[in-house]
Structure 1
Amino acid sequence: MLTDLPIRKIIHVDMDAFYASIEQMDNPDLKGKPIAVGGGGKRGVISAASYEARKFGVKSAMAGNLAAKLCPELIFVKHHFDRYTEISKKIRTIFFDYTDLVEPLSLDEAYLDVTINKKGNPSASLIAKEIRERIFNEVGLTASAGVSINKFVAKVASDYNKPNGQKTVNPEEVLEFLEKLDIRKFYGVGKVTAEKMYQKGIFTGLDLKQKSLEYLNENFGKSGSYYYYVVRGIHNSEVKPNRIRKSLAAERTFSENLSSEIFMLEKLEHIAEEVSRRLTKSKVAGKTVTLKIKYSDFTLQTRSKTLPYYINDKHIVLDAAKDLLYQEKLSNSVRLLGISLSNLNTETKKKPEQKSISVQLKFEF
C-alpha cells in the first residue's frame, strides 16, 4: 500500500530552456525568436532550443542542418558554458535558503527535500512557488516545478505545466495521476522502450500496472522491477545532496569523418588535455580509461582499460587512449571520439541528516 510507505515532500525544479533562455536574456535582440544553442556548422549538434524553436520540432541532440530545415528562421548561437554555470550557482544559492537537501541533476535541474525545511513552512507547494518567484526576480529566468511524495513523481510532475508552471501531486492523488499518465511521460521510459511497450499494449500507467513483476522482468530486463514499483508510487530513493561523481569525460565531433588512426592522434591529444584539465579542476583522478568511438554510420563502440594506479596527467591519459585506439581495427570512418575516466578516487562525504515521516491524516502539500 502506498500509505504504508515513508512520505517525503520533494520538489523537482527544472529551468525552462535554460541555455537558450540565458542567451535570450543576455541578448535582448534574441527574445521571442527561435534560437538554437550549438548546432552550427556542417556537423553541429544542438545543445538546447528556445520554445519558439521547439514549436517547429527543433530539439536538443538534433543535427543542426536538420533543425535549419524544420525552422528556416532558426538562429544559431555559440555556447557560453561559464555563463550557464554562473547562473546555475545563483539558482542553487536560492535552493539552499530552504534546505540543505539539494541534489543537482545538471546545471538546470535539481531535487529538493523540504519535508523539514529552514523556513518552517509546512507547504511544499508554497515553497516551490516562492522559489520560482525568486528565480524570476533575482535571476531573470522562469522555472517549472513538480511537487510530490518522492523524486519520481515530482520529476514527472515538473514537466506537466511547462513552461513557467507548477504541478503538485498530493499523496492521495498519486496512484490516479500515474494510472492516467501516458507511458511516454514516465521518467526512465525512453523512445525505444515506449515503442516496445506500445507493441505490447502498454499505453498508460494503468496498462503498465496490470502487468506482473515477472512479466516486466522478462520483457524489460533489470528495468522491469523499476517500472513495476514506480507505477505504484513506490520510489524510495532519497535526495542525495553530495552526489559522488562517477566519471569525467570530454568528446569531439569532427567536421569531416576521419578514416585513419593517424589522423585521430592529434584530436585525441586535445581531448586528453581537456579531460586532464577537468580532472585537475575537480581535484580527482581515475583508474579506468574509456575510449568512445562513434562511426560515420552512427554505431557506437567503447573500449576500456583499468590501470593499477590513479591518473589525471594528460600524457598518461593520452597514452592509455592511444593503446585503446590501436587495440583493434576500426570498422568504419569516425565522426566522434571521446575519452572518459571512471573508477575515480572520490570519497563519500557525510550527508546531511534526512528524515522521512509517515502519512498522517493532515499532510500539507
Structure 2
Amino acid sequence: MPAPNQKTSDFKKRITLHVDMDSFFASVEVRERPELKGLPVVVGSDPKGGSGRGVVSTCSYEARRYGIHSALPISKAYKLCPEAVFLPVNMKLYAGVSVGVMEVLRGFAEKFQQVSVDEAYLVPGPEVENFEEAALLALRIKDEIQKQQGITCSVGVGPNKLIAKIASGFQKPDGLTVVRPEDVREFLFPLQVSKIPGIGEKTTESLKEMGISTVEELANCDIQLLKSRFGKMGLQMKQMANGLDFGEVREKEDVKSISRHGTFEEDTNDPVKVFGSLDTLSESVHGSLLKHNFLFKTVTLVVRFEDFSTYTRSRTVPIWTSDLFVIKRTVRQLLSEFLGGRKFRLVGVGVAKLRERDERQALITDFL
C-alpha cells in the first residue's frame, strides 16, 4: 500500500503492464499457415535430419511438450521430435507483425517502452485508476492484438516493471495475471529464484550452493552474505526478491510517428461507420499530438479488408501543422480509392515526420 504521505495519484501512476507475445515467431507462422495449428512447430536453422548445427529461435507450445525450447541445439530438437514442422526464420515477416503489435500497444499507453521485437511495458493513462480497471484494459489489449494481428499475448499487471514482467509469464499462453501491491510477496515468495529476471543458470546454481532456491529464501538472506558472494548484484537480487523496482517506463527512441487503429465488431462497407471510425481515430491521434507538443507533415491511412489484405496510403501536407481538420480531411481523401464494394475489417490513422512545436511555429500555425 502507498505510504501515509504518498499521494494516491502518484501511486496510481505506478500501475505497469508488461505485454509479451506468446511464442511469437511460431505463432506468426501458424497464423500464415493455419494448417499448422496444433502441430509442434520449430522456428530456427535447418535441422538437416538431426545433423544441423544451429539453434532453435522459438517453438510452439506443442513443441515445448517434447522438451524443445529457445536456444536448444536444432539437432537435439530434431531428436526430441523428428515429426515437428521445422521452419526457417523469416525476420522480415516477424518485424512487420511486431510493428503492428507495438502500434496497438502505443494506443493504450501514456508511457510506452518496447524492449524487444515481441514485448513491451506500458503505463496506462489517468482514466485507469486502479488494478481492476487495469485488468479490463489488459483484456482490451489482448482482444485488439488478436483481432488485428491474429496472435495471442500474455499480460502481467503490477505495481512496477519487475512484477509486471514476472506476472506476464505466469499463465502463458494467452494469460493475464494481476498482482496488486499488497499481494507482491505472496506472489513472489513461492517462486524459484530463476523466475527473477537477470538470474540465470550460473547464478541460480551459486544460490543453490548457499541453500537458496526460492524467492522467499533470497529475500530473507543476509545482505552482507549476498554482497560478499555477488557484489552489487547481491543487493539488486535482494531488492528484486522483495518486489522492489524503481525503474521507469520510458521510450528508448524519439517518437517518429503517432497512430491509432480500430477493428470493427463486424466487417462493414457502411461509409457512415467507416468515416465515423476514422474521425474518432483522428481525434485520438490529435490528442496525442497536443499532449506531446508535436507538429506533423505526413498523414497515413491504413485499411484492412475482410480477406485480411492490407493497404497503406500516405500524403505529405505543405506546412508543419497540428490541425485536426487537416488529419480528418486527408484520411477521407486517401480513403476514396478504397470505397465501393469490399468490406472493411480495420482502419487506421497516423501522422509522421514529427517535430516539436516551438512558439514561433505556434504563432504561424494559429494564424493560418
| 2:193 is the alignment partner of 1:187 | no
| Residue in 1 that maps onto 2:32 | 26
| Residue in 1 that maps onto 2:297 | none
Deviations for 1:220-261, whole angstroms, at most 9, x for unmatched residues?
Answer: 2231111111122210000121259xxxxxxxxxxxxxxxxx
Deviations for 1:248-284, whole angstroms, at most 9, x for unmatched residues?
Answer: xxxxxxxxxxxxxxxxxxxxxxxxxxxxxxxxxxxxx
| 2:166 is the alignment partner of 1:156 | yes
Structure ID, larger Rg: 2
Letter in 2 for 1:61: A
SS at match of 2:18: strand
| 2:78 is the alignment partner of 1:68 | yes
Alpha-carbon shift at residue 121 of structure 1 (Å):
6.1
RMSD value over aligned CA atoms?
2.1
Distance 2:106 2:79 in 1: 43
The 3 A distance-change label for structure 1 pair 142 and 150 is same
Distance 2:136 2:196 in 1: 25
The 3 A distance-change label for structure 1 pair 227 and 172 is same
| 2:96 is the alignment partner of 1:86 | yes
Alpha-carbon shift at residue 2 of structure 1 (Å):
7.4
Select 1:139's aligned residue among 149, 155, 171: 149
Structure 1 runs not aligned, ≥5 long: 245-348, 351-365
Letter in 1 for 2:148: E
Distance 2:152 2:19 in 1: 10
Given that residues 37 and 79 in structure 1 are in contact (C-alpha distance below 8 angstroms), is that contact kept between their aligned partners in structure 2? Answer: yes
Distance 1:125 1:75 in 2: 36
SS at match of 1:79: coil
Select 1:51's aligned residue among 35, 55, 61: 61
Alpha-carbon shift at residue 210 of structure 1 (Å):
1.5
SS at match of 1:189: coil
Given that residues 17 and 50 in structure 1 are in contact (C-alpha distance below 8 angstroms), is that contact kept between their aligned partners in structure 2? Answer: yes
Given that residues 179 and 206 in structure 1 are in contact (C-alpha distance below 8 angstroms), is that contact kept between their aligned partners in structure 2? Answer: yes
Letter in 2 for 1:221: G
| Residue in 2 that maps onto 1:240 | 250
Select 1:98's aligned residue among 108, 124, 140: 108
The 3 A distance-change label for structure 1 pair 150 and 229 is same
Deviations for 1:107-163, whole angstroms, at most 9, x for unmatched residues?
Answer: 11001112x35x556521111111011111121101001100000010001111100
Alpha-carbon shift at residue 39 of structure 1 (Å):
2.5
Stretches of 4+ aligned residues off by more than 2 angstroms = 1-7, 119-122
Q: Percent identity?
A: 36
Alpha-carbon shift at residue 49 of structure 1 (Å):
0.7
Distance 2:161 2:222 in 1: 23
| Residue in 2 that maps onto 1:358 | none
SS at match of 2:101: helix
Distance 1:221 1:35 in 2: 42
Distance 1:38 1:49 in 2: 8
The 3 A distance-change label for structure 1 pair 242 and 203 is same
Structure 2 runs not aligned, ≥5 long: 255-354, 357-368
Distance 1:141 1:85 in 2: 14
**Number of matched pairs:** 244
Alpha-carbon shift at residue 74 of structure 1 (Å):
1.6
Distance 2:80 2:143 in 1: 34
Distance 2:123 2:233 in 1: 25
Deviates further, 4-13 or 93-102: 4-13
Distance 2:55 2:3 in 1: 45
The 3 A distance-change label for structure 1 pair 120 and 232 is closer
Distance 2:27 2:108 in 1: 25
Letter in 2 for 1:16: D
The 3 A distance-change label for structure 1 pair 177 and 243 is farther
The 3 A distance-change label for structure 1 pair 77 and 64 is same
Letter in 2 for 1:157: A
Given that residues 21 and 50 in structure 1 are in contact (C-alpha distance below 8 angstroms), is that contact kept between their aligned partners in structure 2? Answer: yes
Alpha-carbon shift at residue 48 of structure 1 (Å):
0.8
Select 2:42's aligned residue among 29, 36, 42: 36
Alpha-carbon shift at residue 3 of structure 1 (Å):
4.5
| Residue in 1 that maps onto 2:227 | 217
Higher helix share: 2
Distance 1:66 1:2 in 2: 50
The 3 A distance-change label for structure 1 pair 223 and 2 is farther
Deviations for 1:277-314, whole angstroms, at most 9, x for unmatched residues?
Answer: xxxxxxxxxxxxxxxxxxxxxxxxxxxxxxxxxxxxxx
